[in-house]
Structure 1
Amino acid sequence: MKKVIDYFFETLTVTLTFYVVTCFSISFQSVLKVFVRVLNVALIANFYENLKCKYSKKAAALIVAISIVILIFMVYFIGYFKVDGTISKLR
């Protein structure tokens, strides 16, 4: 049971991190967009490597795929937080 709870919270944390990075990616239309996309790919790769150490390759790939699908649903149904307007207002 502890393993399931650990898996759930780890996946939730990474999915929310993906969501924040995706909000940045959608908001910016400049060179930062490339940086944010590279960061998102690096986060996915790091998450996959961490899962691969704990579970099998198939399970790790499935968990990453499920996390990405959840992210897509979050952006589609919840929307995204426009970061570029917020940053310019803070200046």
Structure 2
Amino acid sequence: MKVTRQLIKEYRLNIDKKKLQIARVEKGWTITKLATESGVNRKTIGEIEKGSKKRLRYSTIEQIAITLGKHVEDFCSQFEVIDKEEVE
């Protein structure tokens, strides 16, 4: 019998809406411009900036960060990586 273990990384992020808004404004961009450039829905960006977006994919905030020339960690008030093992 062969047992395989896979290490899974889980990211828990608390996004600081003001940090995102400041980065966008520093570029002189509107929410619409950021949405167009990043490929992230305008409504999603608006909800993040208002603080009403409760669940957010890492890939979404990563794409916004890349577009703004930042790192995901630049928008976080808390960043935690949890290693989990999954036995197959």
Which protein has the bigger strand share?
Answer: 2
Of structures 1 and 2, the one scoring higher in RCO (CA 8 A, sep 6+) is 2
TM-score by length of 1: 0.21
Which protein has the bigger helix share?
Answer: 1
TM-score by length of 2: 0.22
- Rg bigger for which structure? 2
